[in-house]
Amino acid sequence: MQVGIGLGWTMIVFAVLCVIGIFFVYFFLPETKGHSVEEVVRLFEGPVNRKDPSQPSVVR
């Protein structure tokens, strides 16, 4: 990639990917601090609760 587009542009592409990753983690992954292992496992099982991602979905 460096040979094709240059070192500067390679670093810019890397920075953009890092920013995209930060936004993904912030908006799509729930907070697990202060939860037990069992709560975290239950949180990541099943569909996502879109109203409150920090809570597990209730399947009816």
Distance CA 39, CA 47 (A): 15
CB 44 within 8 A of CB 57: no
Residue found by looking up tokens 């609760």 in the block = 49
Per the confidence metrics, is the pTM higher than 0.85? no
Tens digits of per-residue pLDDT, 36-50?
998 888 877 767 777
Tens digits of per-residue pLDDT, 2-53?
889 999 999 999 999 999 999 999 888 878 888 899 888 887 776 777 777 7
Distance CA 11, CA 23 (A): 19
SS3 percent helix, strand, coil of the chain, rounded to 5, is: 55, 0, 45
- Domain parsing of the chain, residue ranges: 2-44
